[in-house]
Amino acid sequence: MSAARIIVQIPYGDRLLVAEARGIREGLPYFGWDEAPVGLYTTTQLREAGWSVAGLDPVALLVFRHRKPYARESVAELFALADAALRPEPSEAQRVSRLRNLQYAMRARRTCVDCAAEKDYCVPTSTRQCWSCLEIEMANDVEEAA
């Protein structure tokens, strides 16, 4: 026995899409996995295609359950491609700034908090210590316990 479906009209640019939805949730029609009409995309799908949501409100929802773990339910907002805007290309200054910020972040990931030395590997995020400092600390803990 299949669940009852409803026919909905979804705004798509200057026209309406007519689709069969599973129901209404939070005032928006919702669809199951692989049931959304053509032209409705998640923010991730739009970003991968070079489009931007640009402050638009969602027109529908995608509701699905994961197989594992624990069959949790996920909800994703769907946006109309007709209303989306092309993402602008970053300027040269933005690219340089982004690269500089990434270099700063990587330097911070490679710097030990104890000896302040920059290593050629990323230090563990749990301790933020290089292997040498971690071994010294562990040896001191063993001596104190004895």
Residues 45-63: tens digit of each pLDDT: 999 999 988 888 999 999 9
| Joined tokens for residue 102 | 């990434």
| Joined tokens for residue 35 | 């049931």
Band of the pLDDT at 4, cuts 50, 70, 90? Answer: confident
Q: What is the DSSP letter of 32?
A: -
Strands 23-25 and 28-31: antiparallel
Whole-model pTM: value is: 0.63
CA-to-CA distance for 37 and 135, rounded, in angstroms?
58
CA-to-CA distance for 26 and 97, rounded, in angstroms?
40
In contact, 78 and 59? CB cutoff 8 Å: yes
Q: Across-strand partners of 21? A: 6
